[in-house]
Each structure stands twice: as C-alpha cells, then as structure tokens.
C-alpha cells in the first residue's frame, strides 16, 4: 500500500500539486494512523497533509477518486446469463486491494455448459485446445477477477502504460497490453473456429470482447490519471512560447491561469526584498560623532537606514487592433502583481489617450480590459496620444518612475512627437518600449520604432509569454 501511496503522490505532482518528500512521509503516517478501512476518513486525512490550498484540495479530491476507485474488472459473460445481480454486488466493493475474496463464483449451471461446449469444440480445433490450456482463458472462464485485474495491471506495466502522454496513444497501448496478456491465442482460436463454423465461436468471441473492453477501460483510467496532468504541463509550455495574438480564443482562459502562475512566481521572488530592513544597522561613526556633544557618552544612537523607494509604474498601452491582444496580456500581468507593484497606473490609447487605472479598481481585471478595448480602440495616432499623456502624467514622472510603452510604433505617417518622449526619458528612471513586432520589422513602412528607440532606456521585442515574463522580472529587479 505504501508504494500505492507513493504513486498517488506522483499523480498529484503531475496535476500541479506540489508535494515534498517530507509530506509524502507524513501521508504514510496519516494512512497508518487512520487505517485503510474507511475511505472517506483516509481521504480527509490525506487531504490535510497533501493539499495546502482550497484549489489544491479540489484537484486532490478528483485525483483521489480516480486513483483509488479502480474497481475489479468484471469478466462475467454479461448478457448471456443472469449475472446482473452478481455485478452490482461486486462493483460496490470498490478497493483495488487484492485482499477481497473472489466473491464472483461463476453463476451456477450456465458456465459449465459454456465450458462443456468449448471442450466439445476443442476436440475438433487445435488452436482452441491450446487456448483452453492457457492461464488467461482459465481465469476468464472462472471469472477470477483478482487474478485478471492483477494480470492486466502487470501487462500494463510491461507495456509501460504509465508513460502514456497523449490520447492518440490509447489504441497503441491497448494493443500492447492485449499482446502481453496473450490475446493472440484467442485470436488464433477464433480464426480456426470461423473456418469450421463451430457453434463455440460466439462464446469465444464474447470472451475476447469482454477482455478488450476491460483493457480499454483500464487504459482510459490510467490515461486520465497520468497523461492529463502531463499534457497540461506540455500545453503550458507550448502556450508560453506561442505568439500572443495567435493563441486561439478557447485557450485564453488557460493563458490567464498561466499568467497568474507566472505572476505568483515573480511575486514571491520579489516580495521578500520589499519587506527587508525597517530599522537598519547601527552606524558607529555617526553615533560617535553625535556623542561628542555629550562628553563622549553615546547617548543618541544613529541607525543607518535603507531608504525605501516607492517604485511607480506607468503602463502606456496601444489598444488599437494590431496590438490590443498584447496589451491585454501585459495589463493582466501587471495587475496580477498587485502585491509587489502596488503603484501601477495604466493608460490606453489609439487615436487619443486616457487613464484607465480606475477601471481596474472597479472591475475584475478581465472585465476591465474588455471595457478599455471597447472605449479606446481605433486607429492609432502616437503623436496625439503622447501629447495627451504629457498633459495627464508628465508632472508625476520622477526618478522613481518606470514608464512602459507597449505598441508597434506604427503611426500612420503622422508626427511622432519624439520631443515628448524625450522629455519623459529625461525625467523618469527608465522608459521601456515593448514592441510585439519582430526586430526586423522595426523602422519599415510607417513604423517609427527606430526613432522612438533613441528615447528609450530599453526596448525589446515582446510577443510571447516567455518574453513577457522575462521583461517583467527585469522590471521588478530594477524598479526597486
């Protein structure tokens, strides 16, 4: 059972629940203290050690049910006999533990007749005779669930089922497991019986179908357990490398989660620095100097204090059609970082510019972004927008201010008003320009990027989440 717990922990990890080895040990202790008899009790107990947030607990419950509910496979010849009553009894007994006695005695009089029919047919068919010799067939006919369940999971191990990654592999793994089980014999027998039009044919066929179905079920369950988590990790990986405006609409919610995850990571990395040093260290030299007035008695101490800077970030986002998608993600990122970046002001523009910070106070981030897109979308005019920006915010820009501009710098051949950006450049701590276009396209056509670039401390291409994350990380490092 211990190894079972360990593999359960593995499943949890693949579903993004972080479980440390120490917690695994705790889980083993918990299981020992509670026993395995009461499933709900065990589930609650394990949840307490393994899941640490309500979200993780939800995932945990899902995984727990899937993992521990693998009932015994049922191989009785459903449909031919009155096995229905027998089935319902067996399925409630849940546990995959092999301690349950095989309560499934083959339903009385019917099975012997199957066996007799088969034996009679076997006299004419060598393949069938060989088949009846195999352990697999014997277990099937006796409906020995424990043995068969065990056989299937063993065959799954040899086939490496735990490595299953994507759903298209299901068929392939089913085949491999069937081969490992020795399904070949059944197939041979069926071919031979078909040729001789034997009356035993439907019986053997049914056994084959039941076996296949059970194996397919097993693969399905394992897929849900192992692959779902893994493929969602793969999905995260792919999404974070995709150009943001190419991400399909259906994946948007995934991206949001991903951004939150990234933001949390960045927040925890940078949060600690902020809280450090309130009092500072004793400055001996200054303390001595102050003491001179008191005859050398160190009456007043002097503490060297770390000046806490209050970083301010002004995000200026182009929300015209071509860049709107990127603006959305940048804003989402910045506002997911509220804990570490409390003073974010945001501005949106296309033909004119306006401050949109209040939207984020009043609405949840996603809704706010929708409203902004709707209000400020249109054709771009950088000159006009910069002018608006200067009017609104230039007085608030000081040496603690970081200005982030997100835009493609395509000005429709208007006046770029570089002078305004230059004055922002001189006043602020840094100006960062993020451009979703690739570097090669900068300065082509109506792009003013090269000129704007001269008035930026830093400019970068930014069109997927990886790049975005790196830039925000850098921003957090430099902003304090």
Partner 1 sequence: MLAQDFPQLASVEQIEEAFESHGYICSRKIATAVFLSFKLRKPVLVEGPPGVGKTELAKTTALMLDMPLIRLQCYEGLDEAKALYEWKYGKQLLYTQVLKEKLGDLLQGAVGLAESVDRLHQFGDIFYSEDFLEPRPLLRAMQQEKGAILLIDEVDKSDYEFESLLLEILSDYQVSIPEIGTVKARTTPMVFLTSNNTREISDALKRRCLHLYIPFPTVELEERIILSRVPDVDEHLRHQLVEFVHSLRQLDLKKVPAISETIDWARSLLLLHAEHLDEELVRSTLNVLLKFEEDIETTDGELRTLVRSSTDRQTTGVDT
CB of 277 to partner 1, least distance (A): 11
CB of 279 to partner 1, least distance (A): 11
Number of residues that bind partner 1 (CB under 8 A): 23
CB of 225 to partner 1, least distance (A): 23
DSSP-assigned letters across all residues of 320-347? STTTHHHHHHHHHHHHHTTTT---EEEE
Q: Is the dihedral of CA 424, 426, 429, 434 positive or negative?
A: positive
46 versus 200: smaller Cβ distance to partner 1: 46
38 versus 396: smaller Cβ distance to partner 1: 38
CB of 33 to partner 1, least distance (A): 4
CA dihedral 213, 216, 218, 219 (to 10 degrees): 180
With CB under 8 A as the contact rule, the residue among 2, 20, 412, 438 that binds partner 1 is 20
268 versus 301: smaller Cβ distance to partner 1: 268
CB of 6 to partner 1, least distance (A): 18
CB of 7 to partner 1, least distance (A): 21
17 versus 327: smaller Cβ distance to partner 1: 17
Residues 46-105 that bind partner 1 (CB under 8 A): 47-49, 51-52, 54, 57
Closest of 230, 221, 127 to residue 182, by C-alpha: 127
Contacts 24+ apart (CB under 8 A), 170-175: 170/216, 170/219, 170/220, 170/223, 173/219, 174/212, 174/215, 174/216, 174/219
Closest of 104, 103, 97 to residue 37, by C-alpha: 97
29 versus 362: smaller Cβ distance to partner 1: 29
Which residue, chain included where needed, has tokens 């003073």?
Answer: 343
Closest of 135, 96, 86 to residue 218, by C-alpha: 96
Q: Is 22 in the site for partner 1 (CB under 8 A)?
A: yes
DSSP-assigned letters across all residues of 265-296? HHHHHHHHHHH--SS-EE-HHHHHHHHGGGTT
Centre a 10 Å sphere on the Cβ of residue 421 and count the other Cβ atoms it contains. Answer: 25
Binding mask 258-287 toward partner 1 (x if CB under 8 A, else -) reads ----------x---x--x------------
> Which stretch, 41-49, 79-87, 217-225, 462-470, contacts partner 1 (CB under 8 A)?
41-49
Which residues form the interface with partner 1 (CB under 8 A)? 18, 20, 22-23, 26, 29-30, 33-34, 40-41, 44-45, 47-49, 51-52, 54, 57, 268, 272, 275
């Amino acid at each position: 059972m211990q190894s079972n717990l360990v593999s359960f922990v593995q499943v949890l990890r693949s579903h993004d629940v972080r479980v440390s080895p120490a917690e695994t040990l705790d889980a083993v202790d918990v299981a020992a203290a509670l026993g395995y008899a009461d499933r709900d009790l065990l589930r609650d107990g394990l949840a307490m050690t393994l899941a640490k947030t309500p979200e993780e607990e939800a995932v945990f419950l899902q995984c727990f049910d899937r993992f521990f509910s693998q009932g015994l496979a049922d191989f009785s010849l459903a449909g031919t006999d009155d096995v229905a009553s027998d089935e319902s009894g067996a399925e409630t007994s849940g546990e995959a533990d092999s301690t349950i006695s095989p309560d499934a005695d083959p339903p009385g009089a019917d099975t012997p007749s199957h066996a007799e029919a088969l034996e009679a047919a076997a006299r004419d068919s060598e393949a069938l005779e060989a088949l009846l010799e195999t352990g697999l067939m014997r277990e099937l006919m006796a409906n020995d669930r424990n043995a068969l369940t065990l056989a299937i999971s063993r065959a799954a191990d040899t086939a490496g089922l735990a490595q299953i990654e994507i759903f298209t592999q299901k068929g392939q793994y089913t085949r491999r497991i069937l081969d490992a089980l020795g399904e070949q014999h059944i197939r041979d027998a069926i071919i031979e019986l078909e040729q001789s039009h034997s009356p035993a044919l439907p019986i053997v066929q049914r056994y084959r179908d039941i076996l296949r179905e059970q194996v397919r079920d097993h693969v399905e369950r394992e897929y849900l357990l192992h692959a779902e988590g893994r493929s969602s990790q793969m999905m995260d990986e792919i999404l974070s490398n995709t150009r943001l405006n190419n991400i399909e609409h259906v994946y948007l919610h995934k991206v949001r989660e991903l951004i939150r995850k990234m933001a949390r990571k960045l927040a925890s990395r940078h949060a600690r620095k902020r809280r450090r040093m309130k009092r500072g260290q004793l400055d001996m030299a200054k303390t001595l100097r102050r003491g001179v007035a008191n005859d050398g008695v160190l009456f007043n101490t002097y503490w060297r204090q770390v000046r806490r800077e209050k970083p301010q970030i002004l995000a200026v986002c182009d929300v015209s059609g071509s860049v709107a998608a990127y603006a959305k993600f940048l804003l989402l990122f910045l506002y997911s970082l509220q804990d570490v970046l409390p003073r974010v002001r945001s501005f949106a523009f296309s033909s004119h510019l306006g401050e949109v910070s209040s939207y984020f106070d009043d609405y949840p981030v996603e809704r706010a972004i929708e409203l902004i897109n709707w209000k400020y979308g249109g054709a771009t005019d950088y000159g006009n927008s910069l002018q608006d920006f200067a009017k609104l915010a230039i007085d608030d820009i000081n040496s603690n201010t970081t200005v982030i501009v997100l835009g493609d710098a395509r000005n429709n051949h208007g006046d770029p008003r570089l002078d305004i950006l230059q004055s922002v450049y001189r006043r602020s701590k840094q100006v960062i320009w993020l451009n979703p276009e690739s570097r090669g396209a900068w300065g082509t056509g109506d792009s003013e990027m090269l000129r704007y670039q001269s008035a930026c401390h830093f400019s970068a291409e930014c069109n997927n989440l990886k790049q975005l994350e790196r830039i925000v990380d850098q921003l957090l490092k430099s902003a304090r």
